[in-house]
Structure 1
């Protein structure tokens, strides 16, 4: 049996041919025809891309990445701090959670120990932490913690007083992940139809209900009517897939107060928002951090190099023996990347700098896109380096063409689904162009991205 590795040149001298064949072998998650481009390298905000279309096969393009590496590359591509952390992390052991790890201990102590970086949000001694492969897996663990909170694992029955707590409240337009447990938290029919629903009839059945996001009156009405059955509320501090929707000032704190008053667990899904709003966490307002029982973070946490998430939960929330074991629970390599990346962000003041870049970027998106191209763009929303520009109905019908036009103009960007039709006469939210910049982005790069987006829009309208 040969041990010689198979390389691209062993199969063909045409990289575009390998890319095309490999792309065809990859499961198409999106249903529509794929974009005929493939990335072969990059650094910072730049992507080196090969055109796979028949008419331009093999053409090379250099794009600016306005997606932040699918909102995961906090420091852009090939950052020296991340590369050094990866190299260091391969030499620190491969233990799972059964044994302690110096990398894990140093990371958690730095973040949550006495005087830790994140103790303003999570006071020392009141929270514990677990790691997972992805945001979806993190939210699955959060959901498991919620369900276990009403169950006595030793006596195998409800905890006293928890018998009627059978409802989880989520929000219209929410996105928490695609896994079987999480899809029930999504109210949009496209994501749920044809898949098994949660059991609502059995003794440990669970109902999921949805109300409009960011509506204080709807929140008050729901708690007045249903707080006695409510087990938990799961919320994004800024709704991502719904179109970068922000709640009104005071809404999140009001939600936290209601949950605390009625004995309801509050779960914050900060997988997307983590480190993108000018602060580490978006669950905060003018009065400071908004308290949560469980917080899930991801994407930027792995610095674009490792897929990872972190579940930060009150110490009294746990699962039955071995119920949370996973191969990926804060492995030393992941911890090395997370810690070195966070230390660099802190040392360089990148959160504050990115917030300043975001303020200028939001204004530029309004003036250069919404004001000058009202047939394509309608509204800018968001904060920090997580911004969205909603499309018009006409532009929403041409997203495929628009994405390709943006690439031809030299920018790679993503589109969120939008909240669609909402209840109570609230306006339809169309698909939204999502602009997520790495924390290293400067004003000149932000300006160039907007100019390229505008050029791509002009080429179609």
Structure 2
């Protein structure tokens, strides 16, 4: 990696001046000073970045992106398949969901029709699909489907026997989105304090309970005590924001069996995990796919080029008339990008490639980061294209410094919040460096990222 300074260029109207002023005009989502860098180009895993710090304005750096653009850049930046799909998609019509679309029909038939790529998870004829702009919107629709399942939209009253079904179960450390309907599913106080909560009283009230994730005994006890009031369970098959935490073998299947036996809907939030674990879906184990009533996918689905999500739900789950209409329900352009990208992934065997690379990379991360820098990193977790390296307590207090050190070492990376303090004597989980690589990343690129992260860790001392 080279960091080649260039002449300062901050005259009014020139690129660095525009970048600095325009960046300042964007709402700062993070509560701290934003990183003083702006991307001006890139391809694959490389980002061309300009330094906006007044003392270094105009300095150029070329970074390797270990974040895959919030875990959404499936094939990296500027991939020819994605570029061609975008060009093709502008000429296939611009209809809403009110009219059929050849692109939409071809995509859904390829995924869920006879001989579809995803029929092992979603048997033919048993599911239907809706599209949304983002993972949060997809999870909002999933929650709406859950609530509508107890309600007779024609008679405007509960379905008989559903009057007591007023509870949604979520998990400690979960992340499902920032929108109003989803915040109650997050158990951490910081995410919820000062924001409205769902009305628990009244005939259509909703309660949210939280369990420790991956604890079979806690799950069994909860179902024994509360299954008669339970309407749905919402689960990430691997918790992302909590620090890339996977449940023990058999946990997800046990959860699905309990939901089926108790007449409880199971919602899988696979927005983050989609196509990152060596298979299309992470809701599976050694015995095959784990059945769900609703599955939400996103991020990698849009190939890094369009923001999109899908909600795949059993056909009997629906909403009242017009209750799910949206401007963005599987528009033809999005469908063209998704279909071409998925065909490329399948044809090139990229899911298996990413799984093999992830297994190899886990060993390298364990040696190069955890063993060599125990003052900064403590544990490697994850699978396939989605890995996490937990920080030490000392390093967790210096994330800002560490991010800057990583950028100077030539790598851009994200940090997940970690699960924090957990109930039942479970250990504290500190913030975690998330490494998400495109499915077509090479071993040499992965090794280079790890080497640069190690260099950043050395500079932190």
How many equivalent residue pairs?
452
Per the alignment, residue 270 of structure 1 pairs with 270
Q: Which stretches of structure 1, 4 residues or longer, exceed 3 Å deviation after superposition?
A: none
CA distance in 2 between partners of 1:59 and 1:97 (Å): 47
* 2:353 is the alignment partner of 1:358: no
Which residue is 2:180 aligned to?
180
**Cα distance between partner residues in 2 of 1:238 and 1:336:** 29
TM-score (norm 1): 0.97
Report what 1:5 is aligned to.
Answer: none
Residues 416-455 of structure 1: pairs in structure 2 closer than 5 A: 416-455=416-455
2:95 paired with 1:95: yes
Partner of 1:149: 149
- After TM superposition, give the deviation of residue 70 of structure 1 in Å: 1.1
Q: Does 1:403 align with 2:370?
A: no
Unaligned runs of 5+ in 1: 1-8
List per-residue Cα deviations over 1:366-409 (Å, max 9, x = no partner). 00000010000000000101000000110000000100100000
Deviations 1:202-234 (A, max 9, x none): 110000000000000110010010000000000
- Alignment partners' CA distance in 2, 1:23 and 1:174: 31
Deviation at 1:14, TM superposition (A): 2.5
Deviation at residue 15 of structure 1 after TM alignment: 1.1
Distance in 1, matches of 2:17 and 2:275, equals 39
Counterpart-to-counterpart distance in 2, 1:430 and 1:354: 26
Distance 2:69 2:58 in 1: 23
- Residue 169 of structure 1: aligned partner: 169
Per-residue deviation, 1:12? 3.6
Q: CA RMSD in A?
A: 0.9
Per-residue CA deviations over 1:110-165 (Å, capped at 9, x if unaligned) read: 00001101000000100000000000000000000000000000111000110000
Show structure 2 runs of 5+ residues with no match: 1-8
Matched, 1:193 2:193: yes
Residue 392 (structure 2) aligns with: 392
Per-residue CA deviation, residues 233-285 of structure 1 (Å, 9 max, x unaligned), is 00000000000000000000000000000000000000000000010000000
- Give the drift of 1:445: 0.4
For residues 169-318 of structure 1, the aligned pairs below 5 Å read: 169-318=169-318
Question: Equivalent residue for 1:76?
Answer: 76
Residues 300-339 of structure 1: matches in 2 within 5 Å? 300-339=300-339
Q: Which residue of 2 aligns with 1:415?
A: 415
Quote the Cα distance in structure 1 between the aligned partners of 2:289 and 2:457.
39
Give the distance between the partners of 1:401 and 1:32, measured in 2 at CA: 13
Counterpart CA distance in 1 for 2:46 and 2:334 is 24
C-alpha distance in structure 1 between counterparts of 2:335 and 2:385, whole Å: 25
Please give the per-residue CA displacement for 1:178-209, whole angstroms capped at 9, x wherever unaligned. 00000000000111000111000111000000
* CA distance in structure 2 between the aligned counterparts of 1:432 and 1:251, rounded to whole angstroms: 23
SS of the residue corresponding to residue 47 of structure 1 reads strand
Scaled by the length of structure 2, what TM-score is found? 0.97
**In 1: Cα distance, 2:237 partner to 2:321 partner:** 32
Partner Cα separation in structure 2 for residue 360 and residue 12 of structure 1: 49
Give 1:13 deviation, angstroms.
Answer: 4.6
Q: What SS does structure 1 have at the residue aligned with 2:345?
A: helix
Report the 3-state secondary structure (helix = DSSP H, G, I; strand = E; otherwise coil) of the residue aligned with 2:38: strand
